Structure 1
């Protein structure tokens, strides 16, 4: 399978430095994203945001190969990556990218992570539920009930993996959603775009489970929100501490962390080091 990754420019600069931003924002989520942060930064570099391969979960893709496909456009650009930034599960991929780029450039870029989290069954359940909630306005009551029951039932299957859970959720919801999209009058092209986005999002959550970010995070600077159920706060509750090299804590919540002027000023200083 050919994996195609593209990068969107958030800010263009004459500087040779490139900063990579790793997150998935195409689902219409409420949380702020890297475009919000980059607008407030005072650092001269080109900033790119990843658009991962549009593959559905359960496509027999290896997580390492999935991330390696992100490198080719960077090599072609001829730019040097100064830093890699990752939000939530995107921090897993950011750590892997830093390792790959260290080999390519001879020196590891800076790693800055925002409420970093490994992926998990609970994470997939929660994130799929948010996307499902956005689409639920076009679903019948029976569709909603059936989807919720499927989410809960699959979660209880003994030995279910993150990838298996995501793949079965995607397949089940396609069956429900296909009829709902027809009833809503969506044309085939628009429906397929929506399925492609949902599949790519679930894959983004899934293939992070193939990677081990812990060693990479030891060199990272982490930006932590006030939410107890996100990032390093959640890890501490579970008894896991000393995950990163440096932690900067803020009173802002997880959803608005990347809109904060204080966060932008702190990240600017991290980039300037």
Structure 2
């Protein structure tokens, strides 16, 4: 399968410093993203943001091949990467990219993570629920009931994997969504564009489960919010203590972690080290 990943320029600079940003924002989420952070930062560098391939969960690939498609354009660019930043589940991929880049350029880029956490069934459920909520206005009662059952039933069963769960959700919601779009008379081209974004988002959540970020995170600086369920706070609450090289804790919400002035200044200092 030919996976196509592109890197979008968020900020251009004549500086040799290239910083990669790993996050998924195309679903119109409420949380701030890396463009919000850069607007508050005073750092002379070029920033690229990943646009992952639109591949559906359950495709015949694994997490290593998925991330390799991100790495190949970087390798082809000939640019040396100064730092990699990852938000939430993007932190899993950020650690994998640092490992690949270290092999390529002989030294590891700095790794900065914002509320890092692995993917999980609960995370898929929560994130899918937000997308489901956005489209609920064009769904009828039968659509909603079918989708809710597909969301809830697997969580009550044993042996359900992240990939299996995401694949089921994608298949069910595509079926339900097509019916809803037909009723609403929406343009087929818009429909396919929306499904491309949705499949890319679910894959972003899914293939992180194929990767092991724990060793890579040991060299990272983590920027933690005060939200008890997010990032390292949530991991500790569940009994798992992820080890990072350094943790900067802020009394800020998870949703504003990438748009806070104090955090922007702290990240600028990290990149200037």
Q: For residues 2 and 242 of structure 1, do their structure 2 counterparts lie closer, same or farther at Cα, with a shift above 3 Å needed?
A: closer
CA offset at residue 152 of structure 1? 0.4
1:245 corresponds in structure 2 to 245
Deviations, residues 87-127 of structure 1 (Å, cap 9, x unaligned)? 00000000000000000000000000000000011110111
1:104 corresponds in structure 2 to 104
Give the TM-score taking structure 1 as reference length. 0.98
CA offset at residue 158 of structure 1? 2.4
Instruction: Tell me how many residue pairs correspond in the alignment.
Output: 273
- Deviating beyond 3 angstroms after TM superposition, the runs of 4 or more aligned structure 1 residues are none
CA distance in 1, matches of 2:126, 2:64: 24
User: What are the ranges of 5 or more consecutive residues in structure 2 without an aligned counterpart?
Assistant: none
User: What are the ranges of 5 or more consecutive residues in structure 1 without an aligned counterpart?
Assistant: none
1:176 corresponds in structure 2 to 176
2:208 corresponds in structure 1 to 208
CA distance in 2, matches of 1:171, 1:224: 35
Structure 2 counterparts to residues 1-273 of structure 1, below 5 A: 1-241=1-241, 243-273=243-273
CA offset at residue 75 of structure 1? 1.9
CA distance in 1, matches of 2:28, 2:108: 33
Deviations, residues 203-229 of structure 1 (Å, cap 9, x unaligned)? 000000000000000000000011000
CA distance in 1, matches of 2:114, 2:22: 10
CA distance in 2, matches of 1:31, 1:184: 29
CA offset at residue 150 of structure 1? 1.4
CA offset at residue 53 of structure 1? 0.9
CA offset at residue 186 of structure 1? 1.1
CA offset at residue 266 of structure 1? 0.3
Give the TM-score taking structure 2 as reference length. 0.98
